[in-house]
Structure 1
Amino acid sequence: MEAETLNIGILNIMHDKSDTQKRFAFVLKQQSTPVKVTYFYPTMHYQGRTVPEEIAHISEPLDFLKVKKMDAFIVTGAPLEKVDFLDVTYWNEMQQLFQLLQKLDIPQLYICWGAMAAANFFYGIEKQMLAHKLFGIYKQKLFTESKLLEGLPRGFTAPHARYAELNHKQISENKNLEIKALSETNHLFLVEAKSEPQVFLFAHLEYGSDALAKEYQRELKAYPDQAAILAKPQNYYEDFAQMKNPIFSWADTQTLFFKNWILQVKKERDSKLRKNSGML
């Protein structure tokens, strides 16, 4: 017994929420398996104030009853690397979500800050600030085999954009975690849990060709007095001096990674359906 459509929930906590949903809609709906995506926002973040109209229009308040109906779940990145986890306004809600997802035992994809938060909650891995923002397109080094990276060539590229990193030593010493790949700069790319359906992706593979340019312009607008020291996306423009003509060099990485992840989600969902059908 196999259902047609995969139901995937996404907690969208990125700064550019509309663009983020368009990016995920693109990468998830180009799959051979039909995907229905439900976008959520953390309710605790808006306690005592009105939810912005745009956010209310494109997403739903995080509802754990609806989460229970999902075949898989994604937690996006967030512009919170510089904030302690306990100081995040919706940290309690995030912890409840993590606990539920683990109990449901469904595939979980945690991205960038979402990966840092989940790895900290589940395994106590500490977040550490980087001396400078990791920002640009970098080649990746594969350490151990991963089904999610099948089909990718040696030195495949991926976009990174973050101010913090998880403690590599703590990950390596944790018997439940495995580093699958690092960037050429020796920053985390992919970590997977060994006995849980948890994937920690530290690159923004959902990013489209213009995402890094938009991120730089957003920071430039927010901090005009820091223009001289703001990190510029590396290995991204044909003309770096003029910051023109971005190159979408990670397109194949994006396509294959999400294809492989969706195949894993479908395999897990169909296996559960067959098991439940046999018990009837």
Structure 2
Amino acid sequence: MPIKIPVELPAFKVLSSENIFVMNMERAKTQDIRPLKIAIVNLMPKKIQAENELLRYLSNTPIQVEVKLIQTKSYTSQNTSLLHLKKFYNYFDDIKGEKFDGLIITGAPVEQMNFDEVLYWDELKEIMEWSKENVFSTLHICWGAQAALYYHYGIEKYPLKEKMFGVFPHWVNNPNADITRGLDDIFYAPHSRHTEVKREDIEKVEGLEILSESEDAGVFIVATKERRQIFITGHLEYDRNTLRDEYLRDIEKGLKINVPKNYFPNDNSDCTPMVRWRGSANIVFGNWLNYCVYQNTPFNINDIKNMTLI
């Protein structure tokens, strides 16, 4: 079913070329249904790439999805044109009076910093607090997951000896859980981070459930029991070449970086990377939209205010 985005957004052309059903705003207005309202707080440096990646998977839903892109006011991206940001993005102040069925908070390349050292930390705290009464279900990705686990539950992040970088096998702890339903016994997902959260810290918090883990990458998917908060420590949304681009970027900067594991054939960075996670990404994003958002969010979106999260 369609995802509802402006025809001028770069993702419209990209997704249309992949035969993904995207609908322009004018056509969407003629359909007499309430779309899911999803906001994306895009903290990634390459915002257009992140848009393409996330919108690809948000198209996998039974009804229209209306997306609003959010940028931080306290920090302006240096890797995305100001014209693009001005045309397609909102500030939090612009949308905080609205209700949303779903919210996505992306990762960001700041995990080696203390949370309170991040320029937009105070702004992100305000967004996370606001989400408790104004969003039905929030999906946090990578650093966004670590930030939310720390803000909501005081769960710390810990530095790794070396970057968790590559595509790793994972298993599902509860095959009947809604967010992981349909995943293979062993499935793959990309990771790109310098820090981790630990199982023993999460297990101390009543109401949190570890749904998926990896022997190599550790805790992967965590959720509250009512699925109002989802935390994913990796990057299921990544495209084929995203890890490659990060690897080449770090090489060009002269940083010490290993070849991403289980990614290039024979670890040869001249080869085309292997995609092992696309099916799993479709399942997880589809499950979130279907089971955690669509089937449970109130039809009258204003009723979310009476369903305080924490």
Aligned length: 267
CA apart distance, 1:144 = 2.9
* Residue number in structure 1 paired with 2:283: 256
CA apart distance, 1:193 = 1.3
Which one-letter code corresponds to 1:128 in the other structure?
Y
Greater Cα offset, 211-220 or 112-121: 211-220
CA apart distance, 1:56 = 2.7
Change beyond 3 A, Cα 1:176–1:139: same
> Superposition pairs for residues 186-205 of structure 1, below 5 Å?
186-195=217-226, 197-205=228-236
Which one-letter code corresponds to 2:144 in the other structure?
G
> Superposition pairs for residues 13-28 of structure 1, below 5 Å?
13-28=43-58
> Superposition pairs for residues 118-267 of structure 1, below 5 Å?
118-145=148-175, 146-195=177-226, 197-221=228-252, 223-224=253-254, 226=255, 229-263=256-290, 264-267=292-295
Query: CA deviation digits over 1:45-103, x for unaligned, max 9?
Result: 24xxxx93443334222236456332110000000110100111111111111111112
Determine if contact 1:138/1:183 at 8 Å carries over to the other structure: yes
Matched position secondary structure for 1:233: coil
Determine if contact 2:169/2:189 at 8 Å carries over to the other structure: yes
Percent identity, please.
29
Determine if contact 2:164/2:217 at 8 Å carries over to the other structure: no
Determine if contact 1:239/1:245 at 8 Å carries over to the other structure: no
Residues in 1 aligned to 2:204 and 2:33: alpha-carbon distance in whole angstroms? 40
2:117 maps to 1:90:
no
Residues in 1 aligned to 2:135 and 2:51: alpha-carbon distance in whole angstroms? 25
Query: CA deviation digits over 1:177-216, x for unaligned, max 9?
Result: 1111111315121011124600001110111111111111
Which structure 2 residue ranges, 5 or more long, are not aligned? 1-31, 304-310
Over the residues paired in the alignment, what is the CA RMSD in angstroms? 2.2
Residues in 2 aligned to 1:274 and 1:218: alpha-carbon distance in whole angstroms? 42
Query: Per residue, is there more helix in 1 or in 2?
Result: 1
Displaced runs of 4+ in structure 1, greater than 6 A? none
Greater Cα offset, 238-247 or 92-101: 238-247
Which structure 1 residue ranges, 5 or more long, are not aligned? none
Change beyond 3 A, Cα 1:218–1:53: farther
Q: Which is bigger in relative contact order (C-alpha 8 A, separation at least 6)?
A: 1
Determine if contact 1:18/1:58 at 8 Å carries over to the other structure: no
Matched position secondary structure for 1:100: helix
